[in-house]
Structure 1
Amino acid sequence: MTNAYRIFGSELSPYSVKVRSFFRFKGIEHTWIPRSPAVQAEFQKYAKLPLVPLVVTPEDEGLQDSTPILERIEAKHGDPSVIPDDPALAFVSALLEEYGDEWGNKWMFHYRWRYQPDAWSTAERIAQQMIGAEGTLAVAQARAAVAERMLGRRGFVGSNDKTQPLIEASFKKAAALLDAHLATRPYVLGGRPAMADFGLWGQLYEAATDPTPGALLRASAPHVMAWVKRMLSPKVEGSFETLAALSPTLMPLLKEEVADLFLPWSQANAQAIERGDKSFTTTLGGSEWTQEPQKYHARSLAEIRRKYAAAKGAAGLEPILAESGCLKGLAG
């Protein structure tokens, strides 16, 4: 047994880099282990699902699913904390983390596999992880196989010809709103990273490494790009701000993205699963959205609603959720 945690992950996985950034912020001893065929036997020893990240604790326990991992480690290693003392602010942070994990993943996955330069770039990196060599025929063959397989998986996150305009408009709007918000603070909730930062950052870090969304961010969102770099090894630079101080630039993101797109999509997705539908169509931001239901997200929606029920009486929470329009989607 060792005192160090082990993180099996991939540089191309938003949830893996999210967990790694969190461990770096906490100053927790850990070893980063890129997942590859060479470590597959060890990975399978602890993993219940064939997904990264996998965190193996010093007690030899395997943990998966990034948000529960962060919450588990936060409970054990609370200093420096990523959860504000103000329960209303803490809930807003959790909501933004969920938005990043679930809706932000649509941006990342769509751009990565919709456009050929992005698809080939990512497939090349995945092939190199699999083969362990560069410039070989094996890598080229693996790259083609990876690209072909992943191009057909865009539908899992709702990326298709019908939803493409909305996904891309959402990405550009969120980047602009976050850029304005981060112009006057180093992190989403002020002078130190919160759960919100890690959820949003994992997706935007990956987007920044891909040709098409990376070019968009570099051209129009300099403060987001500075934050993306800062979050590689985040640190305490000040205190959490108050909801009142954050609201002028955070409210537009809550209104136009979380309330108008993410929560209505979440609700439509959950209802489709409850009905047993193989696909669902809803209207988001005035546009028609059609996709296969995402089963995992129905559970995470139930979890964010549970967190809302627990925080419901917190001073200042109801007004900001009501003004933003988030209240309806959270009340169920």
Structure 2
Amino acid sequence: MPQTYAFADPLILYGVPHSLYTGVVRCYLRTQGIAYIERPTSHPDFAQRIMPTIGRSIIPVVMLPDGRIIQDSVDIIDHFEQCRVPWPAYPDGPLHRILAIIVQYYGSQAMLRHAMHYRWSYLGQQEAFLRDAFAAGSGHDMAEKIMTRMQSYLPQLGITETSIPVIEHSFESLLDILEHHFREHPYLFGGRPSVADYGLIGPMFAHLGRDPVPSDLMKRRAPRVFRWVERMTAPRLDAPEFTQYGTDYYANDSLPETLTPLFAHIAEEIFPELTSKLMFMDDHVNQLKPADGQPVSDKPHQRYIGVINTRFRDVPVSAGVQPYLLYMLRRADAVMAGLNESEHSRVLAELQRHGLDQALPGHRGYSVARQNHIEVWEIAN
């Protein structure tokens, strides 16, 4: 068994149990055996030490024992991936790695629609649970304001009376697909979690696996999916049902047939919305002509730069555009750029077979980076 990377002292994780992105980081830290102390945003150190550094109220945030601060679930995972962690989350195989990044994008970005619908559209059936969670994390005085603000995000996520039946059908279909996979495999890409698992666990734990309405649906319809949620939130690798399975990713960049329906599901969900968002950013950058390193928005807390009219499956929806999506998907471009001609052709053919080749943004003359805890434009020379 690999040796656990150990700190002399535990780090501090600022977050709350019902936070989607805090759930991602908490799962990663527990899997890797990294000691941490979790504090809510109501803790005085958050206002006195964290917010002056990151310039906004946002979670998760990690403070390392040496005082360094890291904000953003992807940045936190990528920081520790450079350390000697026992269970690296990026597969070595290029196809595995690219697909894992795309699944991570789907879970942490596209599934916001599912997560926020089930939390707020069913408020009347789970209000006591949610009010207790928000009050415990932020204090009674702030809970109502935060809950009201969160509900205001539904329109820009494309959650309407017209789209809700499609969102619910989508979630049920996803549960069925994952249920079949997790009957045979402990994690998405084999014997340990990848960034794909960490991408999905955010919505599947914090919202859909805890809030009473979707959690009950998951337990009744897809018990193996709920068991995967338990496995992801437990310390280390918690897979006694798969004692003889091993801890490696699938050999030789191969994929089991149980993942084919998942990739098809993701392709149907993210397109044409992702294509429309990339085109919006193309036009935005062309008109704005930002300098290299310029923040993507005028204020640090503003992550949306506009709204597009697109479709979610067969339903027209409006959707906010966050340049952060480009920051996530560029990591897949980087993998492709490092391949020789033969490997490039092989991986591209597999992505095309799954309908996911257009998830890689490709050359556009610009990208998005993160500096000082915010997204900035990165302009090619």
TM-score (normalizing by structure 1) = 0.87
Name stretches of at least 5 consecutive residues in structure 2 with no aligned partner: 1-6, 240-245, 285-304, 363-381
Give 1:50 shift: 1.6
Query: Residues 108 and 263 of structure 1: is their aligned pair in 2 closer, same or farther, counting only changes over 3 Å?
Result: same
| Residue in structure 2 matched with residue 241 of structure 1 by the alignment | 250
What is the CA distance between 1:168 and its match in structure 2?
1.9
Question: Structure 1 residue 271 and structure 2 residue 272: aligned?
Answer: no
Name the residue aligned to 2:108: 101
The secondary structure found in structure 2 opposite 1:24 is helix
Structure 2 residue identity aligned to 1:225: F
AA partner of residue 129 (structure 2):
S
Residue 88 of structure 2 aligns to a residue in which SS?
A: coil
Letter in 2 for 1:210: D
**Secondary structure at 1:108 match in 2:** helix
2:274 maps to amino acid: S
1:324 aligns with 2:332: no
1:228 deviation in Å?
A: 0.4
Q: Per residue, is there more helix in 1 or in 2?
A: 1
Q: Closer, same or farther in 2 for the Cα pair 1:194/1:300, shift >3 Å?
A: closer
Q: In structure 2, what is the equivalent of residue 215 of structure 1? A: 216
1:70 to 71, 77, 81: 77
Kindly provide the CA deviation profile for residues 144-182 of structure 1, in whole angstroms up to 9, marking residues without a partner as x.
544433322212433223332332222111111111111
SS at match of 1:268: helix
- 2:22 corresponds in structure 1 to 16
The alpha-carbon deviation at position 318 of structure 1 amounts to: 2.5
Q: CA separation in 2, counterparts of 1:192 and 1:68?
A: 20
My pick for the range that moved more, 84-93 or 271-280, is: 271-280
Aligned equivalents of 1:243, 1:164: Cα separation in 2: 40
Match of 2:205 in 1: 205
In structure 1, how many angstroms separate the alpha carbons of the residues matched to 2:154 and 2:337? Answer: 33
Distance 1:299 1:155 in 2: 24
Partners of 2:185 and 2:67 lie apart in 1 by 39
Whether 1:127 and 2:157 are equivalent positions in the alignment is no
Q: CA deviation at 1:263?
A: 4.5
Q: Which of 231-240 and 22-31 deviates more?
A: 231-240
**Is this contact kept in 1: 2:260–2:354, CA < 8 A?**
yes
Q: Is the 1:84–1:240 contact (alpha carbons within 8 Å) kept by the matching residues of 2?
A: yes
**Counterpart residue number, 1:224:** 225
1:3–1:58: 8 Å Cα contact kept in structure 2? yes
2:9 is matched with 3
Change beyond 3 A, Cα 1:90–1:194: same
Shift of 1:63: 0.5
Equivalence map 1:289-300=2 (5 Å): 289-300=317-328
Moved more, 80-89 or 246-255: 80-89
The question of whether the paired residues in 2 share the 8 Å contact of 1:280 and 1:292 is answered with yes
**Do the aligned residues in 2 keep the contact of 1:87 with 1:314 (CA within 8 Å)?**
no
Q: Distance in 2 between matches of 1:331 and 1:128?
A: 40
Post-superposition shift, 1:188? 1.1
Structure 1 counterpart SS, 2:209: helix
Deviates more, 1:17-26 or 1:278-287: 278-287
Match among 261, 264, 284 for residue 255 of structure 1: 264
Q: 2:298 aligns to what?
A: none
Query: SS at 1:279's partner residue?
Result: strand
Q: Residue 170 of structure 1 aligns to which amino acid in structure 2?
A: S
TM-score (norm 2): 0.76
CA shift digits 1:75-95 (9 cap, x unpaired): 112432222222221222122
SS of the residue aligned with 2:318?
Answer: strand
Match of 2:153 in 1: 153
Deviates more, 1:71-80 or 1:284-293: 284-293
**What SS does the corresponding residue of 1:35 show, helix, strand or coil?**
coil
- Opposite residue 222 of structure 1, the aligned amino acid is P
- Residue 96 of structure 1 contacts residue 200 of structure 1 at CA under 8 Å; is this kept in 2? yes
Q: Secondary structure at the match of 1:209?
A: coil
Structure 1 pair 213–188 and aligned structure 2 pair: CA distance change class (3 A): same
Partners in 1 of 2:61 and 2:273 — Cα distance? 28
1:233-272 per-position Cα deviation (integer Å, ceiling 9, x unaligned) = 2534622124776331101111122x12224322212222
**1:167 alignment partner in structure 2:** 167
3-state SS of 1:15 partner: helix
CA distance in 1, matches of 2:10, 2:210: 29
SS class of match (2:162): coil
1:218 counterpart letter in structure 2:
K
Name 2:120's counterpart in structure 1. Answer: 113
In the alignment of these two chains, the number of paired residues is 323
Q: SS of the residue aligned with 1:228?
A: helix
